[in-house]
Structure 1
Amino acid sequence: MASIPSSRFLGTIVLLFSLAHFSSSNKISKTFQFNQCLSTTRTTKTFFTPNNPNFTSILNSTAQNLRCITPSSPKPELIFTPVDASHIQTVVICAKKHGIRLRFRSGGHDYEGLSYTSATKLPFVLIDLSKMRAINVDLHDKSVWVEAGATLGELYYHVAEKSKAYGIAAGLCTSLGVGGHITGGAYGFMMRKYGLGVDNALDAKIINANGEILDRKSMGEDVFWAIRGGGGGSYGVIVSWKLSLLPVPTTVTAINVPRTLEQGATNTLYKWQQAAPHFVDELFMRVFISPSAIQNSTKRTISTTYNALYLGPAAALLKLMNRDFPELGLKKSDCYEMSWLESVMFIAGFPKTVPTTFLLTGKPAFLNYFKAKSDFVKTVIPKKGLEGMWTRMLQEEIPLMIWNLYGGMMDRISESATPFPHRKGVLYKIQYVNSWTVPDKQAMKKHYNWIRSFYNYMGRYVSKYPREAYVNYRDLDLGMNDRNGGNTSFEKACSSWGRRYFKDNFMRLVKVKTEFDPDNFFRHEQSIPLLPL
């Protein structure tokens, strides 16, 4: 086992944990023993209990879904903000020894909040990795080591700072924490050219249930395969990733072209489904679909906005669009040439007046209460189906669909290359998001009901057997493990979320989990379960 440095840290155990916070004597005993174990660790200002004035601000600091931090949402018994891997090692060892459950948060983007809350309402300690965000760019090796708590925005900025000739294949949302993002696959605006983040991961450092820090060589290829797309929180604590630096041109082109129903949006989107999967690899495009107001009217319409990045100049993009997708009617005035780093800001939705240095703040473009779901589409949805969507969306307040284009390199990577199986044959992925603005239970119930009904309507048009879903758009409606991680978790996952997220890769993930973490120490509502006894 890796050595754990010990020394004087923690002046008083009372400042670490308020035992009055716990209800049963057994829980008090376990917690006291846990605290005693931690007292040999060394840190400053990294432990926060609910009676600490900074507890709530730290808990909420990177929580991206306001639905998961309402007053009634389960809160951690303690927040620990380590500054290096040795602190995490100690917490893992002590938690396992004394039966304390842990949750790990890098960026707080888990759609169900499972990195910082609990749907089972079992007590837990939160390990917040936001102080671990070192980035080391190596141009000679064409790689970068990035700690789990760094955001994608910080990563992109520091890579571009070193060289404008390289970029990273990862997500579109700049406040995503790198640690958790990569574990789910990490799709982004260069996926059609270079594949996903997991396809470009070269190495990783992970802390296992014994508190050991392992790299790719010491963890073994099976575990390295599993953590690249098998979802976070199942195998250990990701400390850092090593990712490939990928060539990008000096000038790229971005567009944001809206089309409403009155401008022929239905026909244009119908044609997009047929043409877009065959675009050149250098072109990524997604479509935002939502209701919008009709000018000078009380009525609403549906707006479709084509948001795209082309790895090249505007003139070349115009030529491609006129040839392959003339229905969009792209004009020179729709095209904006910029650097790759500036395109990160554009695609993420930041106004042009916001400087790229904003990426260093790690702040999201917006926050709200939401429920999300996902689908993968393999056959073109007919116009009648599109019109049925419009009717239903106009009945809701702030619904949103985002259609993310696939094809290109995604078609050429095997389904089993990583746990992320949604590859050849996928035309595009749909993300459904229903948002609301007030923490009202009745409002939440209403908006939940709408998105579930809409999801049911969409079932006839999307992938089947299984109906596939994206693990980084976590959806607890698909099912959950047993509350205490019992043997029936495997059966539940096989018949629901496990197969939907990972298809045939699920069984390999289970086998790796059973060998690497046989005590199921790392677990949550949708973690990879163990093979049944």
Structure 2
Amino acid sequence: MKVSFSCSIIFFLFLIFNVHASNSSIDNFIQCLPTKSSPANPISKAIFTPNNPSFLPILQTYIRDSRFNTSSTPKPLAIITALDVSHVQATILCAKANNVEIRIRSGGHDFEGLSYVAQVPFVILDMFNLRSIDIDMASETAWIQAGATLGELYYKIASMSKTLAFPAGVCLTLGAGGHFSGGGYGVMLRQFGLSIDNIIDAQVVDANGRVLDRQAMGEDLFWAIRGGGGASFCVILSWKINLVRILDTVTVFNVPRTLEQGATDVVLQWQQVATILDKNLFIRVQPQVQFLQGGNKTVQVSFIGSYLGRCQTLVPLINKNFPILGLKTSDCLEMPWVKTHLFWNNLPQTTPIEVLLQRAPTPPHNFQKHKSDYVKTPIPRVGLEAIWKKMMEIETVLMQWNPYGGRMSEIPENATAFPHRSGNLFKMQYITQWQDGSEQSLIKNIQATRDLHDTFTPYVSSNPRETFLNYRDIDIGTNVNGNLSFAMDFFKDNVNRLLQVKAKVDPTNFFKYEQSIPILSSQQ
């Protein structure tokens, strides 16, 4: 009993010491901030602590997953909503001096909440105020700050040109900082590649508080932040992007087929042709469970496409190379590029384009779990039938199968840190969403997503089982004790160069989170 009592006293004193140390660190951190930032732009307006009435609203505004918006979710000790570059520098320098961990958030679309949740005392550096977009029409380039959303970028481009665009995602509230640094995936990738394939410069703040552009940071770091995730190495301030030229008309379509209408046969042919069709054509396969009368259910597969051209050209192209789809002129919608973002977000075409400027998703996201996979050889009929069966058991899952080919097959895997290039037929995203916030529902739905993921095992890439960094999935592992298995899934053979860059630019491992590139003991 004496031993037990003594241990309890020691543990209690340990807790008291750590709480005191934590409070002391955060107090010193807050006091440090004005001394390291520009007096011309007072940082006091950007500091929010839990005793500030705006603290919770600011924290919750950019939480996109209700799993991480509960009373029990760990909260930051402070949020710094940077209004000036010097505020970013001050946050880094003061956090480093006081041993305070930071999490960096731009848009908040982090499927595991790692950009705003931590299991250790931490602060959030929130970039949403740094959102300027400057377009140079003469050079057809633009500088976009990390906190700007894709919707804001698309709106700004469209306000200046009908024939310029940028290849990035269809989710309008994604922040450019995180979206681009993970690769930047969108429906124009078969023609123009990823966002990172069209980035020509960047501004970052490193672990020493220095503002660096491409020339100053060097090609190794510039390589790493394009697909390797900026939060492992630095804070992304802004990106310089090359805009791309397109026709003034884009054609979109959505052709749904249920299993009873031969969806499986259409998917089988889609796998054979989707990557070799015209580069201007992108056809997503989107399977989900459809509920029928009488309590029955089936799987409906939607074939959702975007073509950089007119319908009169698209229909014969599809009917020649993908005849089983049966695309008709009446299935087509022609529109300016900017309006395709209404289509991809299931908004009526009469919706004012100003909706692109909304920074919160509509409707807001519920509880969700995401996973991803890459497919290199067509999934046979028996595999598809097993997948449909498992989906109908789960009910709440939606899948998106996105074709590769075109430009993606032309860019070497080591050209950027993003390695998933040639050899892939398509990338899959698993999306499970539910509204019941109970622990039982959480466990049930996450396990169901994992079960479906297991069903795909025989049909997807292996050794490593490739996965997409921006479809954050904590299931694949963390960097505890220098573990690198998760990094192989994300980055394949690019891991070694990423480790070298990390050791060079951030040797003290200041920029870290559960799935950041670690510093290995052999590098120290």
TM-score in terms of structure 2 length: 0.94
The reply on whether 1:24 has 2:19 as its aligned counterpart is yes
Q: For 1:155-195, what per-residue CA distance to the aligned partner results, in whole angstroms no more than 9, with x for missing partners?
A: 01101111111000111111100000001001101100010
Q: Are the counterparts in 2 of residues 407 and 426 from structure 1 also a CA contact under 8 Å?
A: yes
Correspondence for 1:532: 521
Alpha-carbon shift at residue 363 of structure 1 (Å): 2.6
Alpha-carbon shift at residue 473 of structure 1 (Å): 0.5
Alpha-carbon shift at residue 461 of structure 1 (Å): 0.2
Correspondence for 2:331: 334
Correspondence for 2:246: 248
Q: For 1:82-123, what per-residue CA distance to the aligned partner results, in whole angstroms no more than 9, with x for missing partners?
A: 1111111011111101101101110001110111112xx101
Q: Are the counterparts in 1 of residues 405 and 425 from structure 2 also a CA contact under 8 Å?
A: yes
Q: How far apart in 2 are the matches of 1:35 and 1:231? A: 27
Q: How far apart in 2 are the matches of 1:161 and 1:137? A: 11
Correspondence for 1:235: 233
Q: How far apart in 2 are the matches of 1:159 and 1:222? A: 30
Correspondence for 2:371: 373
Alpha-carbon shift at residue 23 of structure 1 (Å): 6.3
Correspondence for 1:47: 47
The reply on whether 1:226 has 2:224 as its aligned counterpart is yes
Alignment of 1:97-176 (within 5 A): 97-118=97-118, 121-176=119-174
Q: How far apart in 1 are the matches of 2:230 and 2:67? A: 20
Alpha-carbon shift at residue 222 of structure 1 (Å): 0.4
Counterpart secondary structure, 1:500? helix
Q: How far apart in 1 are the matches of 2:351 and 2:115? A: 30
Q: Please, which moves more after superposition, 304-313 or 393-402? A: 393-402
Q: Are the counterparts in 2 of residues 46 and 81 from structure 1 also a CA contact under 8 Å?
A: yes
2:30 aligned to which of 18, 21, 35? 35
Q: Are the counterparts in 2 of residues 373 and 473 from structure 1 also a CA contact under 8 Å?
A: yes
Q: Residues 365 and 289 from structure 1, CA distance in 2 versus in 1: closer, same or farther, beyond 3 angstroms? A: farther
Alignment of 1:343-492 (within 5 A): 343-366=340-363, 367-482=365-480, 488-489=481-482, 492=483
Q: How far apart in 1 are the matches of 2:361 and 2:404? A: 25
Q: How far apart in 2 are the matches of 1:103 and 1:382? A: 43
Q: For 1:281-318, what per-residue CA distance to the aligned partner results, in whole angstroms no more than 9, with x for missing partners?
A: 00111111100122x43211101111111000001110
The reply on whether 1:514 has 2:493 as its aligned counterpart is no
Q: Residues 428 and 365 from structure 1, CA distance in 2 versus in 1: closer, same or farther, beyond 3 angstroms? A: farther
Correspondence for 2:305: 308
2:296 aligned to which of 299, 305, 314? 299
Alpha-carbon shift at residue 472 of structure 1 (Å): 0.3
Correspondence for 2:91: 91
Correspondence for 2:285: 287
Alignment of 1:73-84 (within 5 A): 73-84=73-84
Alpha-carbon shift at residue 25 of structure 1 (Å): 2.0
Percent of paired sites with the same residue:
47
Counterpart secondary structure, 1:503? helix
Q: How far apart in 1 are the matches of 2:211 and 2:420? A: 31
Q: How far apart in 1 are the matches of 2:18 and 2:437? A: 28
Q: How far apart in 1 are the matches of 2:422 and 2:506? A: 32
Q: How far apart in 2 are the matches of 1:177 and 1:347? A: 18
1:259 aligned to which of 245, 250, 257? 257
Q: Quick one: which amino acid aligns to residue 317 of structure 1?
A: L
Correspondence for 1:13: none
Q: Are the counterparts in 1 of residues 370 and 431 from structure 2 also a CA contact under 8 Å?
A: yes
Q: Are the counterparts in 2 of residues 228 and 419 from structure 1 also a CA contact under 8 Å?
A: yes
Q: Quick one: which amino acid aligns to residue 516 of structure 2?
A: S
Alpha-carbon shift at residue 251 of structure 1 (Å): 0.6
Q: How far apart in 2 are the matches of 1:25 and 1:56? A: 23
Q: Quick one: which amino acid aligns to residue 102 of structure 1?
A: I
Counterpart secondary structure, 2:521? coil
Alpha-carbon shift at residue 408 of structure 1 (Å): 0.5
Q: Are the counterparts in 2 of residues 105 and 128 from structure 1 also a CA contact under 8 Å?
A: yes
The reply on whether 1:71 has 2:71 as its aligned counterpart is yes
Alpha-carbon shift at residue 22 of structure 1 (Å): 10
Q: For 1:430-454, what per-residue CA distance to the aligned partner results, in whole angstroms no more than 9, with x for missing partners?
A: 1011111021111000111111111
Q: For 1:469-525, what per-residue CA distance to the aligned partner results, in whole angstroms no more than 9, with x for missing partners?
A: 00000111011122xxxxx31xx11xx210000000011001000000000000000
Q: Which runs of 4+ in 1 moved over 3 A?
A: none
Q: How far apart in 2 are the matches of 1:427 and 1:348? A: 25
Alpha-carbon shift at residue 39 of structure 1 (Å): 3.2
Q: Quick one: which amino acid aligns to residue 39 of structure 1?
A: P
Alpha-carbon shift at residue 44 of structure 1 (Å): 4.8
Q: Please, which moves more after superposition, 47-56 or 410-419? A: 47-56
Correspondence for 1:504: 493
Q: How far apart in 1 are the matches of 2:69 and 2:414? A: 36
Q: How far apart in 2 are the matches of 1:62 and 1:350? A: 22
Q: Are the counterparts in 2 of residues 22 and 28 from structure 1 also a CA contact under 8 Å?
A: no
Q: How far apart in 2 are the matches of 1:162 and 1:477? A: 43
Alpha-carbon shift at residue 66 of structure 1 (Å): 1.2
Structure 2 gap segments, 5+ residues each: 1-15
Alpha-carbon shift at residue 43 of structure 1 (Å): 2.9
Q: Quick one: which amino acid aligns to residue 346 of structure 1?
A: F
Counterpart secondary structure, 1:445? helix
Q: Quick one: which amino acid aligns to residue 148 of structure 1?
A: A
Structure 1 gap segments, 5+ residues each: 1-20, 483-487
Q: For 1:195-237, what per-residue CA distance to the aligned partner results, in whole angstroms no more than 9, with x for missing partners?
A: 0001111100000011110000000000000000001310110
Q: How far apart in 2 are the matches of 1:210 and 1:86? A: 13
